[in-house]
Amino acid sequence: MTAPVQSLQFADAREAADLAAFLGRLLHYDRAAAVRLQAGGGALAVFGRPPSFEVLAIRAVRFDGTHEFDVTVSAGEFLESLEESTGSGAVPAPVTGPPWTGVLPPRGGWEEQPGLPDALSLRAALTDAVAEFRTRDEALPEDRRTRAERDLIGRDIWSRTVGSTELPLRAVHAAQALGFLRAADDFPVALLATGAWLRLRTPYGSIALRRAGAAGGLGTLAVSVGG
């Protein structure tokens, strides 16, 4: 592991534990994952891109101090640095990040959008979608039971929009897979939009993605605890 460039002391041990869980989920989908870190105002925003979902995942945590930095690092090295028992960690040396690390949502202008179902309804929609995928997969003739055919079924299901919004179901699926849409009591969820971007926000993190057919645009997302 390369030498750290910045030590971190999180607000409490739970912040380190939640961040470790998030990084572990990212690494499940990409063992060589990189994350972009933006710190300021006592909060650290961690951006990742799980390849299976084609979205940006954002997890924000609180830390002590006034450090400000913006760097792309190895998700695996960052995870290795975290000490849940002491609520501490270290930012590893920078790496050359993939192209997505230079294309983040804009900082401001977010407006809440109507039509998003509540968290319980979103989880129910995911359960129905998974059941539909299995049913359609099992109905395929043996000679069509291929990865390509299954991908077609998946694209049909996960590209459907949620409620009366533009948000595709794959964004909700990503939120659940990354621990942002938890199977617990109901909690507030919101859909925000600015320019070409949509953002599904929960108390545990956010999923951001470009609207269908959107082009271009660079920016940075404001760092805020809770995603």
- Structural domain of 54: 6-102
For residue 224, being part of any structural domain is answered with no
Same-domain pairing of 115 and 79: no
* CATH number of the CATH domain containing 75: 3.10.150.10
For residue 179, being part of any structural domain is answered with yes
User: By C-alpha distance, which of 17, 61, 66, 64 is closest to 41?
Assistant: 66
What is the residue-averaged pLDDT of the chain?
Answer: 89
For residue 19, being part of any structural domain is answered with yes
Give the CA-trace dihedral at 140, 141, 143, 144, to 10 degrees. -20
Question: pLDDT per position in the chain (227 positions), as tens?
Answer: 444 568 899 999 999 999 999 999 999 999 999 999 999 999 999 999 998 888 999 999 999 988 889 999 999 999 999 999 999 999 999 999 899 999 899 878 999 999 999 999 999 999 999 999 999 999 999 889 899 999 999 999 999 999 999 999 999 999 999 999 987 667 899 999 999 999 999 999 999 999 876 554 333 343 333 44
Ramachandran class of 52: left when φ > 0, alpha when ψ lies in -120 to 50, beta otherwise = alpha
For residue 222, being part of any structural domain is answered with no
For residue 82, being part of any structural domain is answered with yes
Final residue in a domain of this structure, among 102, 135, 169: 102
Residues facing residue 88 across a β-bridge: 9, 83
Give residue 225's identity as a one-letter amino acid code. V
End-to-end CA distance of the chain: 28
What is the rounded distance in angstroms from the CA atom of residue 153 to the CA atom of residue 132? 9
Same-domain pairing of 11 and 72: yes
> Could you tell me how many residues make up the chain?
227
For residue 217, being part of any structural domain is answered with no
Give the phi and the psi of residue 151 in degrees, each rounded to 5. Answer: -65, -40
Place of tokens 């409620």: 163
For residue 63, being part of any structural domain is answered with yes
What pTM was estimated for this model as a whole? 0.88
Same-domain pairing of 94 and 32: yes
Helix (H, G, I), strand (E, B) or coil at 155: helix
Same-domain pairing of 129 and 53: no
- pLDDT of 213 reads 65
For residue 87, being part of any structural domain is answered with yes
- pLDDT of 220 reads 39
- pLDDT of 214 reads 58
Give the CA-trace dihedral at 50, 28, 25, 193, to 10 degrees. 10
